[in-house]
Amino acid sequence: MRETALFLSALFLFSGTTHTSVPSDTSVPYLADSASIRQVWSAAIRSKNEELYAAGYPRYTSYTRTYLRQMHIQRGAAVAPSPRVATLSPVIDQKDIELKHKLMADQGLRLMPERCQKVLQKFYVRYDNPEHRGLSGKSTMILAGHVPDDEFRALFFHEFGHVFDLGCLVGTTAGGGTNYKDRSEPIWGNDQSVSFYAISWLAAETPRPGSQPEDFVSGYASWDMFEDFAESFVYYMLHREVFAQRAQENPAIAQKYNWFRQHLPGIPVVAKSDTQWSGTVPWDITKLAYEWMPPSDLLARR
């Protein structure tokens, strides 16, 4: 019985293994056997079985087989890495970024259209309590690392909304001019974002006459057309059902909701809002509560 208890104790220790032993400046995919934590457990269990056998204890194949069956791992040859498992995006995998922030940002990035993932060239997380929680442009993003995890993820989607808007959806001179500019830079008529801007804006900071606070997903969204886009982007990603509910009551919100449905057709529902529409427009979408519910293949990338 002592031998049995010893082996079962080993199983218990390995089954409790998580990523807590991973240093914050090391990306999970570069660790040995990191293709799947279940594969790590499998190898560890078999290794402990062989170690005990070499020390004179009997092989506990029945325990091993039963435990691995419960974990849905086939006994036998090493399991090939799942094609869904991938290394962290190089732009995210920076040594000075905490592991949890790498994982959240990487999951968010991989939800985006592939052509837009490549647009993000520089990604930084600051842990010195910066003045701004987030900043971004066409290809760069800077986030504050001292905020709660759910807020960090929401900030990522808000700032990626800017990257998507200004860096991924770009027009050409062939589209002709518009009334819209990014500071002094013209925004061309064949830029797909133009059809979004036109819902509520005559120019970057000039709303359409008659616009009401309820025409924007948040108070901050009414600041200018770029914040309107970014706030609507994160609203679509994390509070889609509330966005859809508001779309039934407000024509401008409906146009914005349908714009994202059209331009992000492959984005699954990855969150459930913990808010309800009461008629009061929130100020900042990144502060709203939600439940993160990503698809299993996205989680498998850990």
Helix-helix angle 61-70:37-54, to 10 degrees: 170
Mean pLDDT, rounded, for 273-296: 93
What is the band of 198 on the pLDDT scale with cuts at 50, 70, 90? very high
Within the chain, residue ranges assigned H as helices are 2-15, 37-54, 61-70, 99-110, 114-117, 149-163, 194-200, 225-238, 240-247, 251-263, 296-299
pTM of the model: 0.71
Q: Widest CA span of the chain, in angstroms?
A: 85
HSE toward the beta carbon, residue 146, CA cutoff 13 A: 8
The answer to which of 9-18, 158-167, 220-229, 292-301 has the lowest mean pLDDT is 9-18
Confidence of residue 266 (pLDDT cuts 50, 70, 90): confident
| Residue 178 phi, psi (nearest 5) | -140, 180
User: CA 102, 108, 109, 111 torsion: positive or negative?
Assistant: positive
How far is it, in rounded angstroms, from Cα 113 to Cα 263?
10
Calpha distance 294→139 (Å, rounded) = 25
Average pLDDT taken over every residue of the chain: 79
Residues 116-126, mean pLDDT to the nearest whole number = 95
pLDDT in the model for residue 105: 96
pLDDT value at residue 71: 40
Q: What is the pLDDT of residue 11?
A: 40
Domain boundaries, the chain: 2-70, 99-299
The percentage of residues in the chain with a pLDDT greater than 90, rounded to a whole number, is 65
Q: What is the pLDDT of residue 23?
A: 31
State mean pLDDT over 204-215: 95
Q: Is the pLDDT of residue 86 over 80?
A: no
pLDDT digits (tens, 9 = 90+) for 147-169: 999 999 999 999 999 999 999 99
pLDDT at 58: 52
Say which residues have a Cβ less than 8 Å from residue 1's Cβ, sequence separation at least 6: none
Per-residue CA distances from 52 to 4, 61, 296 (Å): 10, 12, 35
As a whole number, mean pLDDT of residues 224-236 equals 97
